[in-house]
Amino acid sequence: MDLGLAGKNVLLFGGNSNIGRATSLLFAQEGANTLIAARDLDAAQRIVDEAQQLNKGRAMALHCDATKWADVQRVVDRAQELGPIDVCYHGVAWDLLGTFLEIDPADWDRIIDVNFRSVLIAYRIILPIMKEQRRGCFITVSSVMGRKPTPIEPLYGACKAGLIYLNHTLALELGEYGVRLNVVAPGPTPPPGPEFVSKGSCFNDFMSDPAKFQTIGEQFKSTIPLRRMGDPFDSAHAVLFLASEVTGGHQTGQVLGVDGGWYMPN
pLDDT the model gives residue 35? 98
pLDDT the model gives residue 202? 60
Q: Of these residues, 89, 123, 156, 165, which one is catalytic?
A: 156
Active site residue 123: no
Concatenate the DSSP letters of all residues of 57-114 into one string. Answer: S-EEEEE--TT-HHHHHHHHHHHHHTS---EEEE-------S-TTTS-GGGHHHHHII
pLDDT the model gives residue 220? 79
- pLDDT band at residue 200 under the 50/70/90 scheme: low
Residue 42 has a CB neighbour count (10 Å cut-off) of 12
pLDDT the model gives residue 198? 64
Query: Which pLDDT tens digit goes with each residue over 37-70?
Result: 999 999 999 999 999 999 899 999 999 999 999 9
SS3 string, 152-175, reads CCHHHHHHHHHHHHHHHHHHHHHH
Q: Which of 201, 197, 140, 142 is nearest to 18 (CA)?
A: 197
Distance of CA 203 to the CA centre of its chain: 15
The CATH superfamily assigned to 9-258 is NAD(P)-binding Rossmann-like Domain (3.40.50.720)
Distance of CA 229 to the CA centre of its chain: 17
Q: Please state, for a pLDDT cut of 70, what percent of the chain lies above it.
A: 93
- pLDDT band at residue 192 under the 50/70/90 scheme: confident
pLDDT the model gives residue 203? 64
Higher pLDDT, 223 or 19: 19
pTM to 2 decimal places: 0.94
